[in-house]
C-alpha cells in the first residue's frame, strides 16, 4: 500500500521490511522501515474500504503489544476511519477506548484513558469528551474530575519530567458560576474537587473562569488546563496551534501520541496534506519516552 501511494504521488520511497523492531538499527538513513501486516491493505484514496479494517486493527494490536512488552518505547497512531472498523465488527467507540481495553486486559484492571491536547503554547485536558453538550452537567462529577486530575498530575511527572505539575481547573458555567449566581455546578462539583486535590498535594487551582484562562499571561501560570467539556478544551488548543497540536493519551502504561486531526478524506491521496501535526506527534513521543526512561531509572534506584 505504501509503495502504491508513493507511485501515485511520484515519490521515491525506499521501504525496508523488518521482522522485528530490533532490526531498525540496521536500516540506512532515509529508508522507511516497516513491520508488514498479515492483513493486506488496499490503496484507494478517499474511499472507505471495509477490507482495510482488519489490517488497521492488527496494526493497533501489534503496536500496543510491542509497547507493553517494552520492545518499543511508544507508539504514534495515525487517524483511523471508524466506519471501516465498524463494518468488520469493531466494538469500541474509538481508537483511545480500544487502546484502554487492550491495556486493561494486559494489566488485569480497568484503566481510565485521559486525552491531553498538547501544543507549543497550551496543553488542555477535557474531563468529558465526545458527549452532547446537554449531557455534560449530568456526567460531570467530583470523582471524575479527581480521577482525571490525578492521572494528569501523575503522568506529567513520569512521562514529561515535571516535578510539580500545575493544573488550572476551568469552571463549567460563565464566570465559573459567580459563586452560584450562574449555575451551581462550579460550587457543588468543581470547587470541592480542587480543594481535595490540594489536600493531596496536587498543585491545582479553580474553578477558573474559562473566558480568561487562555490568554498569554494566564497560560504562564499553569502547565495544563483541565476543561469540563470537549470544545472548552479543543477550541483554544486548535485556535492557537492547529497544525502543531498533538493528541496524547494519559492513564495508560504505554506512551501513545497521535496527530490532532482526522483522516481528511477530501484531500487524501493528493499530496497536499500538511504533516506538521504528525511530525509533532513523533517528536513528542520521543521526548516522553526519554522522560519515562529517566523516571523508571529513578524509581529503580530508589528501591535499591
**What CA–CA distance (Å, rounded) separates 299 from 304?**
9
pLDDT digits (tens, 9 = 90+) for 138-150: 999 999 999 999 9
Average pLDDT of the chain?
Answer: 92
What is the percentage of the chain residues whose pLDDT exceeds 70? Answer: 100
| CA 277 distance to own-chain centroid | 12
pLDDT for residue 279:
94
**Confidence class of residue 109 from pLDDT cuts 50, 70 and 90?**
very high
pLDDT at 304 over 80: no
pLDDT digits (tens, 9 = 90+) for 25-74: 888 888 999 999 999 888 888 787 878 888 899 999 999 999 999 999 99
**What CA–CA distance (Å, rounded) separates 154 from 151?**
5
Q: Is the peptide bond before 207 cis (omega within 30 degrees of 0)?
A: yes
Retrieve residue 286's grid coordinates. 520521543
pLDDT for residue 245:
92
Q: Is 44 helix (H, G, I), strand (E, B) or coil?
A: coil
**What CA–CA distance (Å, rounded) separates 146 from 225?**
14
Amino acid at each position: 500500500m505504501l509503495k502504491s501511494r508513493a507511485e501515485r504521488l511520484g515519490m521515491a520511497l525506499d521501504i525496508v521490511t523488518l521482522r522485528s523492531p530490533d532490526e531498525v538499527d540496521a536500516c540506512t538513513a532515509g529508508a522507511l522501515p516497516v513491520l508488514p501486516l498479515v492483513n493486506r491493505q488496499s490503496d484507494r484514496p478517499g474511499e472507505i474500504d471495509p477490507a482495510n479494517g482488519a489490517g488497521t486493527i492488527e496494526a493497533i494490536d501489534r503496536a500496543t503489544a510491542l509497547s507493553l512488552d517494552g520492545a518499543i518505547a511508544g507508539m504514534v497512531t495515525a487517524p483511523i476511519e471508524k466506519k471501516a472498523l465498524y463494518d468488520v465488527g469493531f466494538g469500541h467507540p474509538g481508537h483511545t477506548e480500544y487502546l484502554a481495553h487492550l491495556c486493561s486486559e494486559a494489566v488485569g484492571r480497568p484503566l481510565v484513558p485521559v486525552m491531553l491536547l498538547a501544543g507549543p503554547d497550551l496543553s488542555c485536558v477535557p474531563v468529558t469528551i465526545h458527549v452532547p453538550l446537554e449531557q455534560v452537567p449530568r456526567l460531570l462529577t467530583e470523582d471524575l474530575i479527581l480521577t482525571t486530575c490525578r492521572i494528569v498530575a501523575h503522568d506529567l511527572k513520569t512521562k514529561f519530567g515535571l516535578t510539580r505539575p500545575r493544573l488550572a481547573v476551568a469552571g463549567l458555567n460563565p464566570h465559573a458560576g459567580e459563586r452560584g449566581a450562574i449555575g451551581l455546578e462550579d460550587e457543588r462539583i468543581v470547587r470541592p474537587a480542587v480543594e481535595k486535590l490540594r489536600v493531596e498535594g496536587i498543585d491545582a487551582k479553580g474553578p477558573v473562569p474559562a473566558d480568561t484562562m487562555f490568554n498569554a499571561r494566564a497560560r504562564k501560570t499553569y502547565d495544563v488546563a483541565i476543561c469540563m467539556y470537549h470544545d472548552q478544551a479543543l477550541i483554544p488548543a486548535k485556535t492557537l496551534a492547529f497544525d502543531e497540536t498533538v493528541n496524547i493519551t494519559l492513564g495508560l502504561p504505554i506512551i501513545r501520541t497521535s496527530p490532532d486531526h482526522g483522516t481528511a478524506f477530501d484531500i487524501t491521496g493528493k499530496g497536499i496534506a500538511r504533516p506538521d501535526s504528525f511530525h509533532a506527534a513523533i517528536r513528542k513521543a520521543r521526548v516522553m519516552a526519554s522522560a519515562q526512561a529517566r523516571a523508571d531509572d529513578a524509581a529503580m534506584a530508589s528501591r535499591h
